[in-house]
Amino acid sequence: MLILTLILFLAIDWGGTPRVLIASNLLPNVSPEMEKAEFWIKKIQGPGHLLLTPEEIRKMNEENLKGEGLYFSRVKALKEEWTQEEILTLLNEDWEGFGRTEEVRYGRYGSPLEDSFWNELKNNLNKESLKEKNRVLFGLIVKRTDIRVFPTEKISMGTPVSYEFDRFQHSSISPGSLIGIYHFSKDRLWAYIQTGFIRGWVRTTALATAKGKKEAVDYEEAKERLLITGSFVKVFGDPSLHQIIFLAQMGNTFPILNQPRTSTVQGQPSNTGITPPCYIIQIPFREVDGALTFRKGYLSKDEDVHPGFFPYTQENLARQAFKMLHQPYGWGEMFDARDCSRFIMDIFATFGILMPRNSKLQARIGISLGQIEGITIKEKQRVLDRAIPLATTLRLPGHIMLYLGKDKGNYYAIHNIWAIQKRGWFGPVLEKIGKVVVSDLSLGRSGPYQSLLHRMTDIQTIASDSEVHKKLS
C-alpha cells in the first residue's frame, strides 16, 4: 500500500534553506479558553444530539470497506492461499513506490544510501523463497509496533537533515490488531503483513501466529469489548498494576473479561472482593515459538476507558479531540507520537467509525459539502457556515484538520501540525509547531502558500443525510 500523505510545509524551495523558529504555545487569534473542549461545546445547540446511530455507522463502514482505492482490507476475508505471482505483485508495488529511484535518499547520518544498501534491502525481501502456492497465516499484534515499507529499521530521508520524516515509515499497529501474514524476510526478523488499513513489514517479535484463522478472527469479533478513550493508556500484566506490558492507544478495543464492581458500605463505595478493583481484558501473547496464546491484562478502574463505543455526538467528538491537545507530532507515529491523519483516525475510532490512514483518503469519508477547490475565500467561508462543527474534516494537500466552529468572525480547527512557512527579513522561516493545536484558518497567510483556508480543497461532514440537510436548509 502506498501512503499518500505529504509532508506538510517541509520541502519548499525559496532559493535557500529556511531558518527554523519554534512557535509559541498559543497561536495567533487563539485564547486560553479556546483550548478547552467546553468553549466549543457551549457554542453548539444540542451538542449531545446523535449525529449517526450505531446502525448507520455500521452501514457506512460496510460501504467504505467496499470502496475502491480506500485501501481498507477485511483481513478475516483474506483467502488462505496466494500464488507466487500475487505476492510478488504486492512486493513489486512497494518497490516501485518507495524503492530506489533517480532521487537521492539519505540515511541516518545524512549520507546518501548507496548501491550496497539497496541491494541488501532487495535481497532481504526474500522473493526467491516464494513457492508456486503460499499459505497465508493469521495472527494478532502483541505490542504497539511500527509497520515499515521494507524489512529494515534503517531510515530513508529526502534531505540529509530531515530526520523527522522517514520515508520507510508507514504507521504504527496497535496490540490486538488482526493480521494476515503473507511472507517472511530472508533474515526471518520481519513478517510481511496485511492489517485492516495498511500493508507492510513488522518485526516478527511483535506478532503471534494463530493455530488457525478462526482463533485470531474470534478474538477480533468478541462482542463485549473495552474501548480505550484516553490518548494512551497503560495495560498491566498483574492485578496490582505494577508491571506495564504495553500502552494502548485511543480507539483500541479489547475483549472484556471483568469490569470493576463496587458496593456501598455505610454510604461509602467499597470493593466487593468478588472481582479485582480494575478492568480485566484479554490480550494476545507471543510464546517463545511465536505461537498465539491469550493472557489477562489489567487496567486501573479510574483509567480513561469505556465499555463499547461512544455515542456519536458533537460533545463527545470535542472531548475526544481535546484529550490530545499539545501532544507531539510524529510522522507515521514515529517517536511514539501521531501525525495529522492518525489524530483524525483515532478520534473517529472511538465511535466505531473506520477511517483510512492518510489525509487524502480520509477526505473521501462522509458527505461532501460541495466543490471548494478554486473558489474564493468568501465562498469557502459560506460553505463552512453550513458545516457541522466537530463532525467535519477539512483537508488541504498533505494535511487534515477537524473543524471546531466560528468565533468573532474567524474559523477554527484542531489539528496535529508539524510546521508552517513564513516570510522573514532575511529569507524563509520554518516555524515549527510539532503538536496538536487549536488554530484559526488564517494560519500561514503571511507565507508563500497563503492560509490554511486558502489552500483547503475538501470539506466533508461525517453525519447522516438528514443531519447534513438540516444544516444546509
In this structure, what CATH number is given to the domain that contains residue 418?
Answer: 3.90.1720.10
Instruction: Give the three cell numbers for residue 137.
Output: 497465516
Residue ending a domain, among 220, 254, 279, is: 220
The predicted structure's pLDDT at residue 270: 47
* Same domain for 291 and 246: yes
Residue ending a domain, among 220, 240, 272, is: 220
Please check whether residue 6 lies inside any domain of the structure.
no
Position 250 pLDDT exceeds 80? yes
Cβ proximity of 391 and 311 under 8 Å: no
Q: What is the mean pLDDT of the segment spanning 54-71?
A: 95
Position 18 pLDDT exceeds 80? no
| pLDDT tens-digit readout, 277-312 | 899 999 999 999 999 999 999 999 999 999 999 999
**What are the helix (H) ranges across 424-464?**
452-455
The predicted structure's pLDDT at residue 276: 61
d(Cα 99, Cα 268) in Å, to the nearest integer?
Answer: 63
Q: Is 132 left (phi over 0), alpha (psi -120 to 50) or beta?
A: alpha
Please check whether residue 210 lies inside any domain of the structure.
yes
* Same domain for 194 and 337: no
The predicted structure's pLDDT at residue 22: 60
* Same domain for 287 and 211: no
Please check whether residue 170 lies inside any domain of the structure.
yes
Q: Which residue, among 176, 179, 200, has the nearest Cα to 190 in the 3D structure? A: 200
| pLDDT tens-digit readout, 108-150 | 899 999 999 999 999 999 999 999 999 999 999 999 999 999 9
Residue 101 banded pLDDT, cuts 50, 70, 90? confident
The predicted structure's pLDDT at residue 145: 97
Q: What is the mean pLDDT of the segment spanning 210-228?
A: 97
d(Cα 101, Cα 95) in Å, to the nearest integer?
Answer: 10
Q: What is the mean pLDDT of the segment spanning 370-375?
A: 90
* Same domain for 444 and 344: yes
Please check whether residue 10 lies inside any domain of the structure.
no
The predicted structure's pLDDT at residue 13: 30
Beta-sheet strands, E only, within 379-465: 392-396, 399-407, 410-424, 427-440, 458-461
The predicted structure's pLDDT at residue 29: 95
The whole domain housing 115 covers 79-220
Please check whether residue 9 lies inside any domain of the structure.
no
**Which residues are CB-contacts of 462 (< 8 A; sequence separation ≥ 6)?**
51, 52, 348, 353, 365, 366, 367, 391, 392, 393
Secondary structure (DSSP) of 149-217: SSS-----BSSTT-TT--TTEEEEE-TT-EEEEEEE-TTSSEEEEE-SS-EEEEEGGGEEE-SSHHHHH
* Same domain for 106 and 52: no
The predicted structure's pLDDT at residue 262: 55
Counting residues of the chain whose pLDDT is more than 90, the rounded percentage is 82
**Which residues are CB-contacts of 414 (< 8 A; sequence separation ≥ 6)?**
321, 322, 325, 401, 402, 404, 436, 437, 438
d(Cα 232, Cα 241) in Å, to the nearest integer?
Answer: 16
* Torsion sign (Cα): 212, 214, 220, 226: negative
C-alpha distances in Å from residue 213, one per residue of 203, 293, 324: 20, 13, 35
Position 49 pLDDT exceeds 50? yes
The predicted structure's pLDDT at residue 10: 35
Instruction: Give the three cell numbers for residue 55.
Output: 446502525
The predicted structure's pLDDT at residue 469: 82
Instruction: Give the three cell numbers for residue 247.
Output: 500502552
Position 25 pLDDT exceeds 90? no
Please check whether residue 165 lies inside any domain of the structure.
yes
Residue ending a domain, among 307, 326, 352, is: 307
Give the chain's length: 473
Q: Which residue, among 79, 59, 56, has the nearest Cα to 67 in the 3D structure? A: 59
Q: What is the mean pLDDT of the segment spanning 417-446?
A: 88
Q: What is the mean pLDDT of the segment spanning 95-112?
A: 91
* Same domain for 420 and 271: no
Cβ proximity of 350 and 320 under 8 Å: yes
The total of other beta-carbon atoms located within 10 Å of residue 143's CB is 20
Taking each helix axis from N to C end, the angle separating 314-322 and 340-349, rounded to the nearest 10 degrees, works out to 130
Please check whether residue 215 lies inside any domain of the structure.
yes
* Same domain for 368 and 434: yes
* Same domain for 89 and 49: no
Instruction: Give the three cell numbers for residue 42.
Output: 457551549
Position 421 pLDDT exceeds 90? no
Number of structural domains (the chain) is: 3
Q: Which residue, among 238, 384, 224, has the nearest Cα to 299 in the 3D structure? A: 238
Point out which residues pair with 459 in neighbouring strands. Answer: 394
Would you give the distance in Å from CA 399 to the centre of its chain? Answer: 13
The predicted structure's pLDDT at residue 447: 80
Position 1 pLDDT exceeds 60? no
The predicted structure's pLDDT at residue 472: 72
The predicted structure's pLDDT at residue 24: 61
* Same domain for 315 and 362: yes
* Same domain for 194 and 244: no
Torsions phi, psi of 256, nearest 5? -85, 130
Rounded to a whole number, what is the distance in angstroms from the first to the last CA of the chain?
40
* Same domain for 405 and 339: yes
Please check whether residue 366 lies inside any domain of the structure.
yes
Counting residues of the chain whose pLDDT is more than 70, the rounded percentage is 91
* Same domain for 195 and 213: yes
| pTM for this prediction | 0.92
| pLDDT tens-digit readout, 432-448 | 999 999 999 999 988 87
| pLDDT tens-digit readout, 77-87 | 999 999 999 99
